[in-house]
Amino acid sequence: MFFSLIAPTFGRPEEVTEFLESLTHQNATNFEVIIADGTPDDSLRPELKRFENNGKYELTIIYEQYLPVSDARNRGAEVAKGDYIIFLDSDCIIPKNYLNEIITFLEKNKVDAFGGPDAAHESFTDLQKAISYSMTSLFTTGGIRGKEKHVGEYHPRGFNMGISAKAFKAVNGYDTNFRCGEDVELSMRIIEAGFKTALIPKAYVYHKRRTTLKKFYKQVFRFGAARINLARKHKGQLKLTHFFPYFFTKMLFFWLLFAFIYLPIFYLITVGYLLYFAAILIDSTIQNNSLKVGVLSIATSVTQLVGYGIGFGRNWFAIYIMGDRRGIKL
């Protein structure tokens, strides 16, 4: 098996450098790396060129100013030589045994597409660790982003997603009309086409995600809005799990309202929230071995749920109430 690792990027030279450096430490050698760079200036190119003759893997660089994510991935796949294409985010650090875990799994399991979890590296900031927890916890996302135990059908995601070259071509790659949620949309088409997907629990990556709560909020807002677009294109893909952030956010409004009109219900909702936050605090503290990360996880979980819930609600209102077929701008 030969693998083509493809990552779109736009600026952020320090993260891209860490990504490419981590790949020089892979135990496996049967892979190439393709970077599709949409950075409008030359700030990233010197960093990329440093790895062109790294002695570990062949690096192909595609340049096009303002190249969108889906287009970048498709462009990378066009020049890929691998039997399997693996899409990764350039803000990831790849563990040295990553490809070996995939090879071991594929030798025993015949699947057409696969994905792995994301995790927080010990060098990440406490906030990044808290964000990682909120995006992967059963208490917030149902564990659908790569946990062995998760709610609903597993869809590989673009930060850590592999697909056979044959299957990728059969479903015509990424839909460039999707500006957010394009990776999940691809996974849906893969499954609908009859191809088999699987989670490889040990093929995890260290995913940096966003570095501030404001940036994190903007990201999850887009995720929530994108879920409506996904459900419109693929029937049956709107699950109860996807409504949870919206109801959580609505309940915050009613919680404040009942503080003025009916205190018994206000107190009841308060107890519910306190128990929920206590569960997050305890679970995250144990997982991260840090009380500080546990406390921050409450803030990041509220941000994740409210951001997703508002994006979900606003796009639903725009499409189904206001009749705007395009929905809100993402």
Cα 52 to Cα 47: distance, rounded to the nearest angstrom: 10
Superfamily of domain 3-211: Spore Coat Polysaccharide Biosynthesis Protein SpsA; Chain A (3.90.550.10)
Reduced to 3 DSSP states, what percent helix, strand and coil does the chain have, rounded to the nearest 5? Answer: 50, 15, 35
Q: What is the pTM of this model?
A: 0.89
Residue 174 has pLDDT above 90, yes or no: yes
Domain boundaries, the chain: 3-211, 229-321
Give me the pLDDT at residue 149, please: 47
Give me the pLDDT at residue 144, please: 57
Residue 147 has pLDDT above 80, yes or no: no
Tokens of 188: 């849906």
Task: Report CA-CA distances (Å) from 277 to 95, 302, 322.
Answer: 32, 9, 35
Q: Which residues have C-beta within 8 Å of that of residue 137, sequence separation ≥ 6?
A: 143, 280, 283, 284, 297, 301
Region 298-321 average pLDDT: 95
The predicted-structure confidence for 70-129, as pLDDT tens digits, reads as follows: 999 999 999 999 999 999 999 999 999 999 999 999 999 999 999 999 888 888 999 999
